[in-house]
Amino acid sequence: MTKQIVQALEAALGTDDFAAVVDQIKRLDPRLKLDVIAVAKEFVGGRRATSRQKALKQIWSRHQQILIFKAKVRAIGGRVAA
């Protein structure tokens, strides 16, 4: 189940569909805290969250970083300052 969730997150990363995938994760049984933490660890890479809330925050943070990067690329028109 963890692999499927991570694949869905990766597919939706940087798109409007990402929020729907995160909502599905939030609706998981709270007793599956370790599953959410495992998803965050695999999705974010390396850093292990200590709680369900922190895991969700890490997942959302990666998405936000992608959105910020995309906005910066649009703002400079894809050009690199030399």
Where along the chain do its domains lie? 2-75
Closest by Cα among 10, 13, 9, 8 to 63: 13
> Does the pLDDT at position 29 exceed 90?
no
pTM: 0.79
CA distances from 55 to 41, 47, 50, 74, 80 (A): 8, 10, 7, 29, 34
Distance between CA atoms of 69 and 71, rounded to whole angstroms? 5
Q: Which tens digits make up the pLDDT trace of 52-64? A: 899 999 999 999 9
Q: What is the DSSP letter of 45?
A: I
